[in-house]
Structure 1
Amino acid sequence: MYEPNDSSIRQPITGIRSCQVLMACDELSPTLEFLTRTLGLRIDAIFPADNPSTAMLSGHGLSLRLGVGLSNGVKELRLLCDDPYQLSSGARELVAPNGVSIRLEAADPPVRQPETRQALALSHLDEDTHWNVGRAGLRYRDLLPERHGGAFIASHIRILDGGPVPDYTHFHKVRFQTIFCRKGWVRVVYEGQGEPFEMHAGDCVLQPPTIRHRVLASSAGAEVVELSSPAEHITVVDHEMVLPTPASHPARDFDGQRFVRHVAKSAKWGPWRIAGFEASDTQIGHATQGVAGVRVVRPVGEASCRAQAHNTELCFFFVLSGSLDVVVEGDRYTLAPDASITIPGNTRYAFERYSEDLQLLEITLPEKFLIGD
């Protein structure tokens, strides 16, 4: 035995051919026949010859040791199938002769989009703000705790240390996902989008569904705002693809969406829906065929404080600079930098007492929507 601080824990083990799991049984033959005929595993070894009590099998990425009299072992196997409902009974579960449950699961599960349940959500950044440690050691601040019933997740993300980021090539099964660089810079690479590039403060990307990508490096203290739908989505590691890919396909369609890289320095500004404000459109609305819109908003001239409402599925604001009051159904909320507010559809609100240096990140689903007084 070794103690938890034993150096052998950190010593790489070489020459490994496979990793085997144990499965117990009272009689070898019935379970062995089930595993080979029904599940398609192959026998690699069996012993002793005169009265077999142990068999080693493999297949479908599994290495298994089946043994009579084992005191423990797996109680359930999950088979990743093209059709998890292929059994004539319509069930997704079998029971092996030794009592082990065999459950059929979809090898490529579809995106499950929960029904949107909107609610007013407000988030302020202060010294008591909680940051979760997420994937690749990134710090996550939850901007939408109720997540609109699981339909959306909005996160303020920090990378504490500069330099290489311990990421890997992966993709997400999502309906929509955008990344906005809040501070510093982040070096990223995307499938079919040429060489790695840096996102600087104010830059934004649309990550269409299933596009392979990787975060390579960042400045110390870099921050991004990420918004995705649905809230719980699958991140899949791609062990085969090497980024950057040799061919560039900037206009490639990914499940009805195209990759977008918006660079703040080349942004074009135009009128926004509220008089006295202008917006820089990232063109994400066009690339998603109207699924979502992402804009940066700032005051210009005399603004209208008249209350309005909208019929959006999501209307999210994040304060990039300056401050403002948002009056929602008569209640006043003062927002400073790094605060966010998500306003439900058909809710009256107005912007008041905003500073001249105000800039807001706005994300809406859909891109275009009806506005009423």
Structure 2
Amino acid sequence: MTSSASISPAADAPIEGVQGFLVPMSCTDLPATMHFFIARLGFRLDAIFPADGPRTAILSRDGFTLKLGLDVKDGVRTLHVLCDHPEQWPGDARELLAPNGVTVRLVHANPPMMLPATRQQLVLAHADGDAHWSVGRAGMRYRDLLPERHGGAFIASHIRILEGGPVPDYVHFHKIRFQTIFCRKGWVRLVYEDQGEPFILEAGDCVLQPPEIRHRVLESSSGAEVVELGSPAEHITMADHELTLPTPFFRPERDFNGQRFVRHVAKHAQWTAWTSPGFVVADTGIGAATNGLAGVRVVRAQGQDNEATRRHDTEFCFFFVLTGSLDVTQGDKRWRLAADDSIAIPGQLPYGFSRCSADLELLEVTLPADFPLA
């Protein structure tokens, strides 16, 4: 007969019967410390003992339990309190000192998006043998196209999914100013809040992910690639444990923090003249959906005369070579760009396009969507 003491659960097995979490705190003045947590932070008293000389009190709020004890030796020294609007308190008032010496910090329960100031610079990223790919979330490979992130204001990534099939994702959303995903190769199956059934994003297609729209990546083809651009570079991703996708409603005109969802399908693209002669452009509709905040277009060379001299007034201007090749010049400098190379060009900096191959196709991302050319 096997003894129950000899049976041990697996190291990563869920612990059965968990009912809550108890956080110990030491104190020397139990009544004063109790009053602080009850009066200032809304805790309630659940237990106190012994009756003839209390040395321990159990307080709770919203599933969080404190054990205040005169005999506690190694209790916590700092407690972060999640608040709706901690910014309404002056800076010094956001940090309280309890009678037992514990520091109580008021922090955002729902942290806001933080947008650093944009620091533009000219950035070239070549997809040659020296290109660095790092392993990111869910085993995906990332190539950073904007290493210094324009001061933290922007991020641009070339992403590869090596193995196809289901993606271990969950319903989530991003606290962002702007985010777009362009399918470079293969396909990715996605689903978005109030945008109907899951759909396939194929090579040449792109989406605008408005701020805080719930979404989920379901599966992908083997070797799928996307180019993702967003602002700010470091943004908060939050899980939504309540919402199930797809939602029962189809609301393509729904406003998400001032923007609308966009799904641009490449095979339905309409081509018009670009701002420089010798090129045509397909607008994805992202400019209209963001009320002019950002523009995403695909640019093609057309005809024989494909030289352009440009200077723009933008916060952000980025080109990714989808097919073909071209020379980019700036002053006396010249760079040859080919497929999967990219360049970010600061506003007010003169530059030129020349020696464009007949099959040249560029992804152009700008903030704002429409801008004057010098």
Q: TM-score, normalised by structure 2?
A: 0.92
Which residue pairs with 1:219 in the alignment?
Answer: 221
Q: 2:23 maps to what in 1?
A: 21
Query: Distance in 2 between the 1:223 and 1:62 partners?
Result: 44
1:167 matched to 2:169? The reply is yes
| Whole-angstrom distance in 1 between the partners of 2:89 and 2:211 | 31
1:266 aligned partner: 268
Contact 2:323 2:362 in 1 (8 A): yes
State how far apart, in whole Å, the 2-side matches of 1:184 and 1:148 are.
Answer: 30
Kindly state the Cα deviation for residue 89 of structure 1 after the two structures are TM-superposed: 8.6
Partner of 1:123: 125
> 1:54 — aligned with what?
56
The answer as to whether partners of 1:170 and 1:212 remain within 8 angstroms in 2 is yes
Deviation at 1:350, TM superposition (A): 1.0
Measured after TM superposition, the shift of residue 87 of structure 1 is 4.8
> 1:274-306 CA deviation, whole Å, 9 max, x = no partner?
211111110100111111110111111023424
- Aligned length, in residue pairs: 367
The letter of the residue matching 1:24 is S
Q: Residues 25 and 68 of structure 1 are in contact (CA less than 8 Å); yes or no, is this contact kept in structure 2?
A: yes
Structure 2 counterpart SS, 1:91: helix
Question: How do 1:152-163 residues align onto structure 2 when only pairs under 5 Å count?
Answer: 152-163=154-165
Task: Give the drift of 1:85.
Answer: 4.1
Which residue in 2 is equivalent to 1:143?
145
For the residues of structure 1 that align with 2:294 and 2:49, how far apart are their CA atoms?
A: 61
* Partner residue, 1:132: 134
CA, structure 1 residues 26+329, in 2 after alignment: closer, same or farther (shift >3 Å)? Answer: farther
CA contact (8 A) 1:184 1:222 kept: yes
Q: How does 1:151-300 map to 2 (within 5 A)?
A: 151-300=153-302
For residues 332-347 of structure 1, the aligned pairs below 5 Å read: 332-347=334-349
- CA 72–223 in structure 1, closer or farther in 2 if over 3 Å, else same: farther
* Cα-to-partner distance string for 1:304-337 (whole Å, 9 max, x where unaligned): 4242211111110111122221112221111122
Distance 1:56 1:198, change over 3 A: farther
Encode CA deviations 1:134-191: one digit per residue, 9 max, x unaligned.
Answer: 3344332211111111211111122222111111111111111111111111111100
Distance in 1, Cα, partners of 2:131 & 2:91? 51
Partner of 1:265, secondary structure, is helix
- Would you say the 8 A contact 2:307–2:356 is kept in 1? no
**Separation in 1, partners of 2:59, 2:110:** 25
> Per the alignment, in what secondary structure is the counterpart of residue 346 of structure 1?
coil
1:329–1:347: 8 Å Cα contact kept in structure 2?
no
The residue matched to 1:34 in structure 2 has which SS?
helix
Q: Structure 1 residues 195 and 307 mapped into 2: Cα distance closer, same or farther (>3 Å)?
A: same
Q: Residue 72 of structure 2 aligns to which amino acid in structure 1?
A: L
Shift of 1:347: 0.8
**Who is 2:358 aligned against?**
356
Q: Once structures 1 and 2 are overlaid, which stretch shifts more, 187-196 or 32-41?
A: 32-41
Shift of 1:111: 2.5
Q: Shift of the alpha carbon at 1:128?
A: 3.8
Question: For the residues of structure 1 that align with 2:327 and 2:9, how far apart are their CA atoms?
Answer: 57
From 96, 99, 107, give the equivalent of 1:97.
Answer: 99
Which consecutive residues of structure 1, in runs of 5 or more, have no partner in the other structure? 1-5
Q: Which residue number in structure 1 is paired with residue 34 of structure 2?
A: 32
After superposing the two structures, state which structure 1 stretch, 15-24 or 35-44, moved more. 15-24
Query: Residue type matched to 1:94 in 2?
Result: L
Residue pair 2:166, 2:218 contacting (<8 A) in 1 also: yes
Greater shift, 256-265 or 12-21, is seen at: 12-21
Mapped contact 1:274–1:303 kept (Cα < 8 A): no
Asked whether the 8 Å contact 1:85–1:91 carries over to 2, the reply is no
Aligned position for 1:3: none
C-alpha change, 1:224 and 1:48, in structure 2 (3 Å) is: farther
RMSD: 2.0
- C-alpha deviations, 1:9-43, integer Å up to 9, x for none? 22222221123333333343322221122111123
Moved more, 82-91 or 49-58: 82-91
Return 157-166 or 253-262, whichever deviates more.
Answer: 157-166
* Distance in 2 separating the partners of 1:218 and 1:34: 54
Q: Structure 1 23/314 Cα, relative in aligned 2: closer, same or farther at 3 Å?
A: same
Q: For residues 141 and 20 of structure 2, what CA distance do their matches in structure 1 show?
A: 35
